[in-house]
Structure 1
Amino acid sequence: MTPAIENFTYRRVPVSQGVSLNVAVGGSGPPVVLLHGFPQTHLMWRHVAAELAAGHTVICPDLRGYGASDKPAETDGTTYSKRTMAADVVAVARALGHDRFALAGHDRGALVAFRAGLDHPEAVTHLACLDVLPTLDMWDVMHGVTAAVGFHLYLMAQPPGLPEQLISAAPDAFFGHFLDVWTNDPSAIPADVRAAYLDACRAAVPSIVADYRASAGIDVDHDRADRDTGGVLRMPVAVLQQDWGSALGFDAAALWRAWAPDLRHTPVTCGHFMAEESPAEIAGALRDLLAR
């Protein structure tokens, strides 16, 4: 049996023509949407979601192309843009009766959340981004041999064909690599959850690659357009991330502050999968954000 968030109800929510997302909903109160990262599904929020559900309606979708959500074929380069995926999130919240909501994302989900905050400021009341930089800044800071840590970014940025073929030849080795090397506490991802992540990724190679490919193309264009016109995040923003800026030679807080005037930037000592490794710390940080 596929693991699920205990005491949450699951449903499929249409977000655009022919595309529906798998969504877990629990709790009651002001709405909070939680977006997962790579190579995970909504299950990464299982501990944090349970804590927040005591005082909030918590909405945990699988992003388009991931988990049990639909995986439309890429057609025109926009199918997996963060703008399209952000519109999905707004559509899910509205379908569940929420025109305004707080939003938190990790990894890929944080990039979707960032775009939602820029594109839909009327809907997003508070924004949290975990362990990423905005796409435009991410590419700017990757350089030299230290950029080898992001080899997957360059692989999946290649034209369609080769990345999908290579990853599909050994999907468990590829996706499992990140589950192994990005955590400081392997026990935080138990065997059944790990298996669920690998099963989901194995079935989603083309859409996952399309998501990453968009981040080397159209997502950069969208970020640059906002930077050129002075677009910023108008809501309170919390960023939690490892201090990998020190290794790569940049000031993460300064980069984020250029996008988010009302920013709290907090370094963490846990691994990349912080919602699973340190759920109490992450839930507490989200509560602090929501109190602002």
Structure 2
Amino acid sequence: MSRPARTTHPTPPLPPPVIPGFDQHRVPVSDGVSLHTAVGGSGPPVVLLHGFPQTHLMWRHVGPDLAADHTVICPDLRGYGAGDKPAETDGTVYAKRTMAADIVALARALGHERFALAGHDRGALVAFRAALDHPDRVTHLACLDVLPTLDMWEVMHGVSAAVGFHLYLMAQPPGLPEHLIGAAPDAFFGHFLDVWTSDRRAVPDDVRAAYLAACRESVPSIVADFRASAGVDVEHDRADRAAGTKLRMPVAVLQQDWGAALGFDAAALWRAWAPDLVHSTVTCGHFMAEEAPDVVAKALRELLGR
């Protein structure tokens, strides 16, 4: 007599990672675009913007620390994560000016006319533009491991520019970059998660999987974001430099010692934009909010106290 077949049940998928203690919202910001946003804590508002190739999850350590005495707002940028990804139509849909306006509208929708702003990588470029365009809204600015767009292009030259190969790839006209990256998105985006960190344990498997899944669904919009940084974003920075526009608020910059590696004075480049500047270098890798969250949280608290 044969035994009845054993019934097997598939293992349910693990829930996606979230920032502990934060509520999830979908907030309309402009032109039919909504941003997925995690919000936690109470007190003076701080908006934290993620970098590439990440989502708001990169703030999963720093956000709860600041939420002890601040309202902390962590959105997925336009074109990234679970936010909307409008098609590029005229070269400005992913301009940092457009993305910065999203953040001002987001804060207002959540009840905050003025707020502190910190960004990492791509998010730092959005934060920089928001602080230039909306100085009456941004009380404090922190930029992590980035140079302003115009300065970035000006310091990259020779073989040292190979470190930024992706910048040149995604600056190409629509078609080829999307096709190449879309053919192997996990290999492309995973490359940066591997080589830009000094400790791979800082991005655990579940978070890495969430980042790659989000990027896999966002290739055209991510490319459009980078393409804007080789076009309209440079134009906006150049116009502000010519006009002598400065960042009026206290500014903190944390970055790896790019200047020593590539031959320029990063602090001087930043000081040309930010008279009230504290510039610091870190010894960890690029993903500093995940690799050294205590260092980042301390720097942000010091900035907020200025």
Q: State TM-score, norm by structure 2.
A: 0.95
Does 1:183 find its partner at 2:197? Answer: yes
- Aligned equivalents of 2:152, 2:273: Cα separation in 1: 13
* 1:243 to partner: Cα distance: 0.2
| Aligned pair partner of 2:302 in 281, 288, 292 | 288
Q: Percent identity?
A: 82
Partner of 1:196: 210
Does 1:101 find its partner at 2:115? Answer: yes
- Aligned equivalents of 2:103, 2:176: Cα separation in 1: 30
Partner of 2:222: 208
User: 1:31-70 residue pairs with structure 2 within 5 A?
Assistant: 31-70=45-84
SS of corresponding position for 1:187: helix
How many aligned residue pairs are there?
Answer: 292
* 1:81 to partner: Cα distance: 0.2
* 1:25 to partner: Cα distance: 0.2
- Aligned equivalents of 2:76, 2:175: Cα separation in 1: 25
- Aligned equivalents of 2:125, 2:153: Cα separation in 1: 13
- Aligned equivalents of 1:83, 1:5: Cα separation in 2: 27
* 1:238 to partner: Cα distance: 0.1
User: 1:122-271 residue pairs with structure 2 within 5 A?
Assistant: 122-271=136-285
- Aligned equivalents of 2:106, 2:17: Cα separation in 1: 22
Q: What letter is aligned with 1:206?
A: P
Q: What letter is aligned with 2:51?
A: G
- Aligned equivalents of 2:118, 2:261: Cα separation in 1: 26
- Aligned equivalents of 1:254, 1:58: Cα separation in 2: 30
SS of corresponding position for 2:270: helix
Q: State TM-score, norm by structure 1.
A: 1.00
Q: What letter is aligned with 1:288?
A: E
* 1:113 to partner: Cα distance: 0.2
Gaps of 5+ in 2: 1-14
SS of corresponding position for 1:137: helix
Partner of 2:106: 92
Does 1:29 find its partner at 2:43? Answer: yes
* 1:48 to partner: Cα distance: 0.0
1:174-206 residue CA offsets vs partner (Å, 9 max, x unmatched): 000000000001000000000000000000000
- Aligned equivalents of 1:258, 1:191: Cα separation in 2: 40
| Aligned pair partner of 2:97 in 83, 92, 112 | 83
Which one has a bigger Cα radius of gyration?
2
